[in-house]
A and B are shown apart, each in its own frame.
Chain A
Amino acid sequence: MAKVLMKGNEAIGAAAIKAGCKYFFGYPITPQNELPEYMSKEMPKVGGVFLQAESEVAAINMVYGAAGCGARVMTSSSSPGIALKQEGITYIAGAELPCVIVNIVRGGPGLGGIQPAQSDYNQVTRGGGNGDYKLLVYAPANLQEMVDLMQEAFDAADYYRNPVMMVGDGMIGQMMEPIEFREMPSRFELPAKDWATTGTKGARKPNVINSLFLAPQQLEDHNIRLQAKYDAMKANEARFEAYNMENAEVVIVAYGTTSRIVRNAIIDLKEQGINVGLIRPITLWPFPDKAFDLVPETCKSLLSVEMSMGQMVDDIKIASNGRWPVHFYGRSGGMIPTPEGVMNKVKEMVGGAK
């Protein structure tokens, strides 16, 4: 298929519809508004439903309902809106329902600003909701990757019966890029949704969608089962890209659009005789621990580059398990790191240009 030029938020909507999404419930917030707007135009054309809820809380609970009926369903928001959805998200995880949640991240905390940020790292990887649950979190670095991952996001949600989050900083939502909609073979064999509340027709016992377990032993058993699911995700779903690792003396860890800025810095640093590698997590949870086994012996230290204030540093420390010191460089509040800023930090770490 020929390439088309799309804005990130539109492309997310188009990819979701292509992946079989039939229901979208949302509420406006910058910088993701083009996504619900796109869905409002396109959903009726595929026999789907777009509904603007009265709030983020209402929208996520509509997702809960639709997911319980076995539908492919999505919602989207941006940082403070995602914060509002947390109660619904933990209910959906607790009730073991599949859905995709898109978070186009803006500066925080609080209302913050409308420019791009990555400061929801902890919110999306630790969960803002209560209880022992995890989301599978994808963080694409460009629109083609985002479009390609959307099918997988819906499939993984169905396979694990768990909410999946697609995270893009504001730039991913707002930037335009050429995209090709490719057929992506599914990695999963998806069982029938025999748990969905589709009506018994008098032929079976009612299915119950619920996250309330009043007997402690029942709830613990439930948690143990959920944990086994998260262990399977950790074993099978962590994804990353490694770049320029050979003979690197510093390895940078960066995701999303920040990784693209880092890549430019790496090319320029190479010209100046400083060899720097990149680990780019494609899933933020599970964090790609195995990537750090690829760090070469020449490496003296790691550097986390973020559009946040060091939220990813702890995960890098855990994954690298004390093998290298971990430094941090980031901008926040909607300020975007520059290749020059990254280069200066690396030079400071290695003791100046060669």
Chain B
Amino acid sequence: MALDLMKDARIRIFIGHYGSGKTEFAVNYAMKLSRQTEGVSICDLDIVNPYFRSREKAEMLEANGIEVISGARGHNINLDVPMVSAGVLAPIQNEQRQVVLDVGGDAVGARVLARFAAYFKPGAYDMFFVLNANRKETQDVQGVLSHIRKIEDTVGAKVTGLINNTHLLRETDINEVLKGQQLANDVSKASGIPIRYISALEKVTRQLPNDLEGEIFPIEMYMREAWM
């Protein structure tokens, strides 16, 4: 069954431990969403990372009809300045737009979201915690819950779904994904937060059993050059 991303709330926020694959997932999500609807905006709110931010893929995203909003001085990747364009408010306020908020890692990266918290009313937003069980600080339930709590406290909004994005880049096999799924299940049980998506490269998702909690979300590696 095809994924229906319009089931998610209009404002989708992607948060998590840094290095867990938020940007890769957010860019994939925006690309898929743009095939299902018009009016997609992706806002790159990452002010803690200098490389591998969604603005690097602005050209590709814009060619697919996606509006890209990042720094106040455009998508310049050489600017080492922690600033966010005021333009982010436009798609957040405009109920005709479908919004993807790609946020920097950890609570420190999520701090920028607190400024928009007034718009994150129950039902109006989804905040997805992107989980990679192969990252040092999110290998067990306690580590994941600690990150979730710190980010929720910083943003002033609750996480509404988990995304199992457990991988080892090109070395990923289904055992990695299933290991992450086990952790996501445990986190879900402990927190009551449902697992929303399970993401992996398509060749891996094809081998996954279909009775897992959460929808299978095949992704491409947009952020990683072929030689990496």
Residues of A within 8 A of B (CB): 3-7, 10, 30-31, 113-116, 170-171, 174-178, 257, 260-261, 263-264, 334, 336, 339
Q: Which of B50, B168, B227 is in CB contact (< 8 Å) with A5?
A: B168
Interface residues of B in 167-184 (CB under 8 A from A): 167-169, 171
Interface residues of B in 34-91 (CB under 8 A from A): 49-52, 77-78, 80
Is B228 close to A, CB under 8 A? yes
Closest-CB distance, A111 to chain B (whole angstroms): 10
Closest-CB distance, B183 to chain A (whole angstroms): 13
**Chain B residues in 8 Å Cβ range of A177:** 169
CB–CB A5/B51 < 8 A: no
Residue on B nearest A7 in the bound complex, by CB = B19
CB–CB B169/A5 < 8 A: yes
Closest-CB distance, B96 to chain A (whole angstroms): 36
Interface residues of B in 120-142 (CB under 8 A from A): 132, 134-136, 139
Is B226 close to A, CB under 8 A? yes
Closest-CB distance, A282 to chain B (whole angstroms): 18
Residue on B nearest A177 in the bound complex, by CB = B169
For chain A, what secondary structure do more than half of its interface residues adopt (helix, strand, loop), or is it mixed? mixed
CB–CB B50/A3 < 8 A: no
Closest-CB distance, B202 to chain A (whole angstroms): 20
Residue on A nearest B226 in the bound complex, by CB = A264
Q: Which of A170, A178, A334, A339 is in CB contact (< 8 Å) with B134?
A: A178
CB–CB B132/A5 < 8 A: yes
**Chain A residues in 8 Å Cβ range of B49:** 174
Given A30-B50, A174-B52, A260-B227, the answer on whether A4 and B78 have CB atoms closer than 8 Å is: no
**Chain A residues in 8 Å Cβ range of B139:** 4
**Chain A residues in 8 Å Cβ range of B134:** 3-5, 178
CB–CB B227/A263 < 8 A: yes
Query: Which size class do B's interface residues fall under?
Result: 20 to 34
Residue on A nearest B139 in the bound complex, by CB = A4
**Chain B residues in 8 Å Cβ range of A339:** 226-227
Closest-CB distance, B83 to chain A (whole angstroms): 15
CB–CB B19/A5 < 8 A: yes
Given A5-B134, A5-B168, the answer on whether A170 and B227 have CB atoms closer than 8 Å is: no
**A178 CA to B80 CA, complexed, in Å:** 27
Closest-CB distance, B22 to chain A (whole angstroms): 12
CB–CB B169/A178 < 8 A: yes
Closest-CB distance, A35 to chain B (whole angstroms): 13
Closest-CB distance, B73 to chain A (whole angstroms): 14
7 additional A-B residue pairs with CB within 8 Å, beyond A6-B19, A31-B50, A171-B228: A5-B19, A5-B169, A114-B50, A170-B50, A174-B52, A260-B227, A263-B227
CB–CB A260/B132 < 8 A: no
Q: Which of A5, A174, A260 is in CB contact (< 8 Å) with B135?
A: A5
Residue among A4, A176, A263 with the highest chain B CB neighbour number at 10 A? A176
**Chain A residues in 8 Å Cβ range of B169:** 5, 176-178
Closest-CB distance, B139 to chain A (whole angstroms): 8
8 pairs from A and B in contact (CB 8 Å cutoff): A3-B171, A5-B135, A7-B19, A114-B80, A115-B77, A174-B49, A174-B50, A339-B227
Q: Which of B52, B77, B135, B225 is in CB contact (< 8 Å) with A4?
A: B135
**Chain A residues in 8 Å Cβ range of B171:** 3, 178
CB–CB A175/B135 < 8 A: no
**A261 CA to B225 CA, complexed, in Å:** 10
CB–CB A30/B80 < 8 A: yes
Residue on B nearest A32 in the bound complex, by CB = B50
**A69 CA to B132 CA, complexed, in Å:** 41
Residue on A nearest B136 in the bound complex, by CB = A4
Closest-CB distance, B26 to chain A (whole angstroms): 16
Closest-CB distance, A273 to chain B (whole angstroms): 21
**Chain B residues in 8 Å Cβ range of A170:** 50-51
Interface pairs A-B: 4 shortest CB-CB: A174-B51, A178-B168, A5-B134, A264-B227
**Chain B residues in 8 Å Cβ range of A4:** 134-136, 139
**Chain B residues in 8 Å Cβ range of A178:** 134, 168-169, 171
CB–CB A175/B228 < 8 A: yes
**Chain B residues in 8 Å Cβ range of A263:** 227
Residue on B nearest A263 in the bound complex, by CB = B227
**A10 CA to B132 CA, complexed, in Å:** 16
Closest-CB distance, B219 to chain A (whole angstroms): 15
**Chain A residues in 8 Å Cβ range of B225:** 336
**Chain A residues in 8 Å Cβ range of B167:** 5
Residue on B nearest A339 in the bound complex, by CB = B227
For B9-38 the 0/1 string (1 means CB < 8 A from A) is 000000000110000000000000000000
**Chain A residues in 8 Å Cβ range of B168:** 3, 5, 178
Closest-CB distance, B23 to chain A (whole angstroms): 11
Closest-CB distance, A333 to chain B (whole angstroms): 9
**Chain B residues in 8 Å Cβ range of A10:** 19, 136
CB–CB A115/B228 < 8 A: no
**A260 CA to B227 CA, complexed, in Å:** 6
Residue on A nearest B20 in the bound complex, by CB = A5
Residue on A nearest B108 in the bound complex, by CB = A37
Residue on A nearest B179 in the bound complex, by CB = A2
